[in-house]
Structure 1
Amino acid sequence: MYAVGLVAGLASVGAFCYFASAFAGRGYHRDRAVRLAAAGTFVVVSALKLTNPVHGAYFSTTVVTDPFAYVAFDPGTIHWTISAGAYVLAAVGLYFVYDTLADAGRTSLRMGLVFALLPAPVALDVAALLRPDLLIRTYYEPVGVAAFAIGLLWFIEGRLDTLGGVGRKHLVGQLDSPVCFVDDERVREANDRFVALVGHDVVGRPIGSLPESVRRTLDGDEETVTISTDGHRRQYRVSVSTVTLGPHRIGRAAIFADITDERRRMREVVRQNRELDNIGEALAHELRNACAITSGHLERAGEHAGPGGDPAVRSASLSTAAGGVDRIERVISQLETIVRDSRSVTSRSPVDLYWTATQLAGPTSPPLSVVDDGTLVGNPVRIDHLLENVFGLARSEGADELSLRMASGVLTIEFAGLSVPRTDEDLFGYGQSVPTADSGMYLPTIRLIAHAHHWHVDADVTGGDSPTLTVSIDTDPDTPPEPWDGRPLSPDTERTGASSPQES
């Protein structure tokens, strides 16, 4: 029976080491190699203990009559060697537990006394060997182990609501996203990404030290949060979970998943779908007009084809019909370019507005004035197409003067002498004959190219003796994205979107 008790004592050391590794989140208890080595050692040592009656190397027995008759156990060298190893393992386990409690701020004198209960009986063992007249020669370790187990259970069980260090460390260490762990009052744990997100170290500080938007997500008032870091705004979806250990609620864990790129891609899909719808509408409108004009004049030319017809009318009608065919070809060519220009811009470079504009201005263009502060940054090919449409509109409608002004990230285009008695939506809508049927593609294409850069476009019309159409394009590429809620986006409120894999 004594040998069986020794085996049980050895098993208790293994159980404690398993508990200490799990409690501290070390992971040794899950390591297959460590577990196999521990099991093999346990089997070998248990065999030595159980076969002691055969070899007598582990311990020997002596009948002692003073102060009363009992059987005394005399440990051998193997016993002391194995005991030393067991105490080393127990000491490592104690360190794991102490380190975890210290991280949680729960160390105290009482905890030290509880830990001292485990090795204390060794002194009784030594005293019994040296002074058998004072203590009987037996093993006192079970008393210390039992006292330590009860004390540790009391100490930890009574404080699980404030410990949680193991779960916190394991959680924040395994995730790449920003993570924080809070209790009812303070931030108990946070990884480096969360610290970078909020801009300062928050571990151990009151929850009130967190940004208000983050606090609202922790309270469950909002599921997403937008945070500015290094001048850039990022959007996060926040998942808040209550963390419990047994019956105890030890706090809340919040994981911040970056959804900025996801939202931008969704915005880009919405934008491109809208542009494709607009292009389809433009195609139908322009071709319908051209076909109607061509068909009407061909019919009229046919009416004057006979002997009684007017050759001049017939010739004029055929000429107009030919112009309609040319218009159809021109529209198709324009739409091919428009489709390419609708793709999101992914590469930008500084553009010399003055040089580009003067190169594109033709002899039939109205007088041109250009003011450039050098802040225009965009795709040079798309900027060329945008300005081509600007000059096309000015020539088509006979503008008295064209003014281009680039200042502080805003490109202002003024068409002096161009009267447009319509609303902004009519100005930029495909399928609208604004200002006239012949120039209905120019303004919508200007806005399409601007939106492909994720720029914002406004228009203003002033009347009077000198009517002027003013188009303002905010070219600031750092304008942060607004949260997208899944509803269709208004073209005039869209400022930014995701990058497209395609580029002209």
Structure 2
Amino acid sequence: MIDGLSIGGRFWYLAVFGLSGVATFVSAVRVNRIAEGDTRRGLVALLLTSGGWALAHVAYLATADQQLGVFLYQIGLVVGLSTIGGWLYFCSAYTGRSLHRDPRIRWTAVVAFLAIVAVKLTNNLHGLYFSSEVVSTPFPHVAITSTTLHWTVMAGSYALATVGYFMLYERFRHVSHDSRPLLLLLGLTALPVGFDVLGMLVPGLMEITYEPVGVAAFAVGLSFVYFERFRTIRLAGDRDNPVIVLDDDDRIQDYNRAATRLVPALDDRSVIGEPFADIASECAEKIATDDPLVTVYRDGETRHYRVTEQQFSASQSSLGRALVFTDETHRERYRNELERQNDRLDSFASMLSHDLRNPLNVAQGRLELARDQHDSEHLEAAAGALDRIEGLIEDVLQLARQGQPIEEADRVTLSAIARDAWGMVETAEAKLVVETDRDIEADPDRLQRLFENLFRNAVEHGGESVTVTVGPLDDGDGFFVADDGAGIPAEKREQVFESGYSTAEDGTGFGLAIVEQIVAAHEWGVELADVEDGTRFEIRT
């Protein structure tokens, strides 16, 4: 007859593990609110396997049949081992790592898991993993005596679990908010190790793995008590860039250490819960503009940060946003320097044009008087040289000005601009075919200049009867200007956009260089397509 103590002892064991299993399964449903997919999948896998492990313990403890008890114990061993995979997957994903996606690590884990499972399930054949017997203390059950091989696997499992703890600790120390409660919560998963040891040393305490109880405590605390803090710590610590997490009312929820260097007021943790606009008013004003570029002066240095927002929510309700500050100091300095260089180049070109045009006009006037009095081939050559100088001055001036950044673009029709440009070029018997009515955002004057230069290039190199076609690219991402002329030799194609390169006797060599500058000013791309006949320039907008 089983005494009351035995019944009570069995009841408490069954109740603890049974409630642990139920708690983890319920928590697995709740954590589906986590938006980040890999973190959610890893945590759900950890909770489901831990719940299965706890229920396997319940079934194992409920029977005193040796064969059935051994079978249920082996099921628990297999499911328990799988919790390590879920735990490490969760830790890697939550801390922003990619270890859980590495195929080599995945395959190594699968092979190791299957090998250990094979040893566990074939224990009846070799007895190297554990031995079993039916005992009556503290209540009738199948007692398991583990061997060195079992403890070796357990030690390896806990070592891997420790790797996960270190990953989490490394992430927590990068956030500003006090993460000790969450560290304590995670510590509950390791607490049952002490009961595992006591089970071997204290008479009357069952030698069984108590880990499912610790995972259940962690799951309940995470899902029902500390869920929002868990989410914001992940968001704030997910990047090396400054990150500030705001709730739906724009109150500060969390931030990482990098953010304290950006906003010194964040050094005081009492700002948690305060409106962001009250703590960093200038920064908040900048973020609200169309160009959220924040300029910060620190230690005698000016730095620039581009702000992007990431919304996060649960189900259909918004929970706030994360402000991510990306350092664009180098790019902003380059842009400012480029603007200064363009301004200097424009000033130089204007000065050069003005200072050269006056003596050039004098020389051309005197030359015309000389040609009226004398008829000489030398005077003709001099006139041609002066005309070339005038063309060079105009092209240098255009080259400097056409590369200036586009401040405001208009919506224009390609066909209309192309036909207007055709009317400005001496085309002789050449023919224009326009195959597109597409509208694009562009500077009308510069776009017309682009077409003029391409048309002039086609007539000069393709012949007076050349046919020039303007049409859309096949993927719709731009347009082309093509002609059916002689084309450009393959060995010369890389040089066509170089300043001063020309195959025409009277060309300045700046026409296509100006085209490239206009394209760059629009932040487009241009390339000379590889075609069998003629020439085809493709502009990708």
Q: TM-score, normalised by structure 2?
A: 0.45
Specify the structure having the higher radius of gyration (Cα): 1
Q: TM-score, normalised by structure 1?
A: 0.47
Structure holding more helix per residue: 2
